[in-house]
Every structure is written in structure tokens, then in C-alpha cells.
Structure 1
Amino acid sequence: MKYIRFGIYILLAFFLIVPFLVFPRIVRVRVVECYNQYGLCSSDFMAKVNLASGKSINDAKKMVAEEFKNTKLIDNYSFRFKLPATLRIDILLKKPKYALLNKNTNEIAVLDNKGTVLEKTDKTNLPYVVTGDNLPNVGEVVESKKTFALELLYSIYYLYQVKSGEIVKDSLELSIPKEGKIIFPLEGERDILLGSMKLILSRAGKFKEIDLRYKNPVIRYE
């Protein structure tokens, strides 16, 4: 009786475990679905994942993982197989934070919080910095001075609803409504610069320009 029970356990284990090992190797994917947190994946992503159609589940997952390995647009992703032959891929895209606008071409690079270019477009609702330089390609990271300018603008956007600024030589220039122009350096302690700006704005009265590039900020009046 003991041996019969043991044999039953072995058979149960066989029928429970073997399908999980064999099934992904022999079943072919016929349909590939791709979604991100905003809905259906873009045509670029669909072109990548559709290459998995016709492959075994294991090979399809490996192929998609290889395609996604070199993109910096994805924060995370997962697979789910649906009978009879559908592989669903759920992607968590990195979130856009701000943008760079090339004033010569009006092309816009949308970036995440690390300065990585997520996409190129011709319009955006994000706060943006204007530059005369060529924009990085999708997946590339902007240089540190531009990231510094973007972070400054992002903070000011939430403080004063200033949506844009421009990099002029080695400074960031922007205008605060009903106040005046503010000039920032492209390096330094961001919190100190913002604190100095808020303090000066509370005391300066009507001014033409505040230049924060110097140790002692310069205030120019009309």
C-alpha cells in the first residue's frame, strides 16, 4: 500500500510538473498583444514584439527580452500567456518629466527624470527648455548642464507656473509673469539658487532682471 501511494505521488508530480516544462517549449505563439500603462503599445514596439509570432513560448519571451534589452524607454515589463496561443506583454514605460526644444527646427525631445530622451515630437504640454543645439537621439542622455537647466525650470514651473526657459550661452533665462527676467547659471547648488531667487523676489519690488550667476546676485531695475 505504501508503494502504491508513493507511485501515485510520483505520477501526480509527473503530470503536474512536466507540462510546465514541456508546454512552453512546444506550444507556438500565434497572437502577440502589447500594452503599456497608457493603452496599446506604439507601432515601434509592436514591430518588435510581432517578431515573436510563430515561435515557442520560451523562444518568444527570449526574443522579446533581447529586443527590449537595448531600449532605455522601458522601466519594466512582464509576460502572460493566454490559451490557446496568445502572448500578452505588459510594459511599464518610463514617465516623461520635461522636454528640450530645438529653436532652429522646432523639434522637441521628451525626457524622463534622468534626462533620457524618450521620444521626439513636435508638441508637448511639459515644461521645456529652448536650445540652439542639436537634440540627442531617442535613448540617449542629455548633457549635465542641460539636465541642470531642466531641473531648475521644473522647480520654477511648480512654484510660478513658468513653462519655458531658454539656454543662452552658459545660462538659463526665463521670465516670471508680472515680475521680470531671471538668469541662472548652468551649474551649482540648485536649492541655494532657488532659495536666493525666492528671497530676492519677496524683497526686490519691480525689477527688470535678476542675475544669479554671481556670488552676490545682481538686480537690474528699469
Structure 2
Amino acid sequence: MGKKKKSLIFLGLFLIFVILAVAAPGIIPVKEISCQSQFGPCRSELENSLKTFEGKSLKEARAGIKSLLKADVLIDSFDVRFKLPSGYEVLLIEKKPVYALWDLGKKAAALVDRQGYIIAIVPSTNLPTLKGDNLFEGVGQTLGEEKLFALEVLSQMFQFYQVKEGALSKDSLIIEVDDGPRVIFPLQGDKGVLISSLRLIISKLESEEGGKSKLAIIDLRYKNPVVTY
């Protein structure tokens, strides 16, 4: 076989390979789609939605999977990987709720992630909860700085004093410490300084006989905290 003929054969095979590589994603059907999150297998409703792309072409399925995942407010990030012989593996990081808002008018709770993004509306929750009127609109909303600040303060109060509820007023966060005082926080400032000041005041007064129980209000909205008995 001459060199020229061999070259033509190799060129023909190369062209066939290129054509198949370009056309295959639009022709070959997807046989299986698997899904894993940082918590293990993906939630059943998401897996069922992904299964609807099985049987579609690789190209169509990939586009549909990406569109589905981008629209899911519970997903923080994702990766769609091709899996031999003709499937996809979906790896994703789901958002995790760490705070909650209870709207007195709606009588429902909004679950909030660490960035202040509302990821679900539920009838009840065990998370530390900030209560008030007109606190949220719905899933997908990003909270303003003051509400997120109040939630972060409440979370720290839960760590130190196991307080699970706080009330949001127009310009302050009000928290009742069990067997202790009512604490009024501003809605801005240095959270670390505010919590440290509160702990110092309570610790100092606890050293006195019955000090903690005698406290009525600790107002931290001022440069010099106001303590009322």
C-alpha cells in the first residue's frame, strides 16, 4: 500500500472521528444520571427531576440538567460530569439553613442560610428564630443588613445562653435571657464587642448575690450600656 493511499485512509478515519465527536452528543441518548450532594444521595424530588432527562441526547440532557440546577434555590454550586458509557454524574453543594425568621402575620417561618438568603418557607423550625411583622416575602429573597445582623447576634446568644428567640422592633433586637434580663441590641455595630460587653456585665453582677435575677434590662444601644434593675 502506497504512502499516499495510507495518508488518505488516515485522513478519512480522522474525519469520521471528528464527525462522530461533533454529532454524538446530539445523537447518543443518556442511559443514567446519578446525583450526590455533600450530605449523600440527592433529595428524592431532585433525583426524580433529573431522571426525566434520561433517554434524551447527551447535549440536550446536559443543557436541561444545568438549567434545572441553576433554578434550584437550595443549590449553592454544582458540577455535571460525563460518565461512561453514556451518562452524567451530578455533584452539588446544597445551601444549609442556619437561621430562621418567624413572621407573626404569615404564621410561618423562613429558613435562612449564612449569607442571608431565604431558601425555604416552613410551618415550624427548631433553629434560633427572630420574630416580628413583615420580616420576609418569600423564597429567593436576600435579607437586608439589619435583619442579618440581628440573626447573627441571636445565633451567638444561643451559643452562650441557649436563647432561641428574639424580637425585632423598628430599631433594635430584643432578647429575653432565661432567668435573667431583657437585653436590647442595636441593629448595627461590632457583634463581638456587643456580646463581650453583655457577658462582662452579667458575669460581674452574677458574682453578687442574686445579681443576675435582679437585673431587668441591659440596653446595649449606647456607647456606655444602660443597666436597669
Per the normalisation by structure 1, the TM-score is: 0.81
CA contact (8 A) 2:31 2:87 kept: yes
Q: Give 2:208's aligned residue.
A: none
Aligned AA for 2:228?
A: R
Distance 2:28 2:195 in 1: 59
Question: Residues 49-128 of structure 1 correspond to what in structure 2 (within 5 A)?
Answer: 49-82=50-83, 86-128=87-129
The alignment status of 1:151 with 2:161, answered yes or no, reads no
**Of the two, which has the highest radius of gyration?**
2
Aligned length: 217
- SS of the residue 2:92 aligns to: strand
Residues 140-182 of structure 1 show CA distances to partners (whole Å, capped at 9, x for unaligned) of: 1012111010010111111222122111232111122232211
Answer with 88-97 or 142-151: which moved more: 88-97
Q: CA separation in 2, counterparts of 1:15 and 1:126?
A: 59
Over 3 Å counting, the alpha-carbon distance change for 1:135 and 1:48 in structure 2 is farther
> Which stretch of structure 1 is more off in the superposition, 98-107 or 45-54?
45-54
Could you tell me whether the CA contact under 8 Å between 2:186 and 2:221 is conserved in 1? yes
CA–CA distance in structure 2, aligned partners of residues 165 and 148 of structure 1? 12
Q: Which runs of 5+ in 2 are unaligned?
A: 206-210
Match of 1:211 in 2: 219
Moved more, 76-85 or 201-210: 76-85
User: Against the structure 1 CA distance between its residues 126 and 17, is the aligned structure 2 distance closer, same or farther, given a 3 Å change threshold?
Assistant: farther
Contact 1:73-1:139 at 8 Å conserved across structures? no
Letter aligned with residue 219 of structure 1: V
Do the aligned partners of 1:148 and 1:186 also contact (CA within 8 Å) in 2?
A: yes
Distance 1:52 1:209, change over 3 A: same
Where in structure 1 are there 5+ consecutive unaligned residues?
A: none
Instruction: State yes or no: 1:196 paired with 2:197.
Output: yes
TM-score computed with the length of structure 2 as normaliser? 0.79
Identity %: 34
Q: Which moved more, 1:110-119 or 1:175-184?
A: 175-184
Letter of the 2:137 counterpart:
P
110-119 or 13-22, larger mean C-alpha shift: 13-22
Change (3 A) 1:178 1:28: same
